[in-house]
Chain A
Amino acid sequence: MNIEKYQIKSGEKLEVFEFVSEGPQGRIVKMVQYSPTNYKDLYNLGFGDKNAETGFVDDTAISNNNDSEKVLATVVATLYAFTDKHPEALIYATGSTKSRTRLYRMGITKYLDEAMNDFTIWGELDESWEEFKKDVEYIGFFVKRKNV
């Protein structure tokens, strides 16, 4: 996505990423983690704000830093970095709230053509999966990188 992103830092395994959102609420440290699930090559994408004082990471925080598109683009950038290192990985993502899941869906929809070049994307329905379609309210998403 040719839109602005934040600079990303990561550990050597490229499974934990950090970047700093900048806006009217100040500098907010964001963390992204790809955690292995109980199943081989399946990872969960976690994303939230790091509390500067406690170090606690909160995935329900609403930062209102007027940069949601830039933040989302940066999270997608971590997806490229992670799947460069783990090309076989399947990644599950869902929002911590319905509105955040909707935000993910809108982000995917907005850049769907480009995203489909690089990733296969599925949407989670009640108890099944389908290839991602615009304007469907999904519970979660699975993504897999195409040719790395």
Chain B
Amino acid sequence: MDIKDLNMKKAPIVVIDKSLDFFNDKVLFPEKLAKANEMLKKVGLPKMKEAL
């Protein structure tokens, strides 16, 4: 499969690189995560049943 075929796929072919597991327990974007938690507390979730 060449890069053109790869790019036609919605679900990408991901190369597993175990060195990236180093980041699993680390939050790379702490401000964004805090913002998300704050938003969830304040605004909550969209109405799922209406939209799904």
Bound pair (A, B)? yes
A interface vs B, CB < 8 Å?
Answer: 1-5, 7-18, 31, 33, 35, 37-39, 42, 44, 46-48, 57, 59, 74, 77-78, 80-81, 84, 90, 92, 94, 96, 118, 120, 122, 124, 127-131, 140, 142, 144
Instruction: A37 to B43: give the CA distance in the assembly, Å.
Output: 14
Q: B1-52: which residues lie under 8 A (CB-CB) from chain A?
A: 3, 6-8, 10-24, 27-29, 31-33, 35-37, 39-40, 42-43, 45-48, 50-52
Among B14, B18, B19, B43, the residue within 8 A (CB) of A128 is: B43
12 contacts between A and B (CB under 8 A): A1-B10, A8-B13, A11-B20, A11-B21, A11-B23, A18-B20, A33-B29, A37-B33, A37-B36, A44-B29, A120-B51, A124-B39
Q: Which residues of A contact B8 (CB under 8 A)?
A: 2
B interface vs A, CB < 8 Å?
Answer: 3, 6-8, 10-24, 27-29, 31-33, 35-37, 39-40, 42-43, 45-48, 50-52
Q: Which residues of B contact A42 (CB under 8 A)?
A: 36, 40, 45
Q: Which residues of B contact A57 (CB under 8 A)?
A: 28-29
| Majority-rule SS of B interface residues | helix
Instruction: A69 to B37: give the CA distance in the assembly, Å.
Output: 28
Assess the B10–A92 pair: CB atoms within 8 A: no
Q: Which residues of B contact A120 (CB under 8 A)?
A: 51-52
Assess the A127–B43 pair: CB atoms within 8 A: yes
Known: A35-B29, A44-B32. A81 touches B12 (CB 8 A): yes
Assess the B14–A14 pair: CB atoms within 8 A: yes
Among A9, A35, A122, the residue within 8 A (CB) of B46 is: A122
CB distance from A41 to the nearest CB of B (A): 10
Assess the B14–A9 pair: CB atoms within 8 A: yes
Q: Which residues of B contact A81 (CB under 8 A)?
A: 11-12, 14
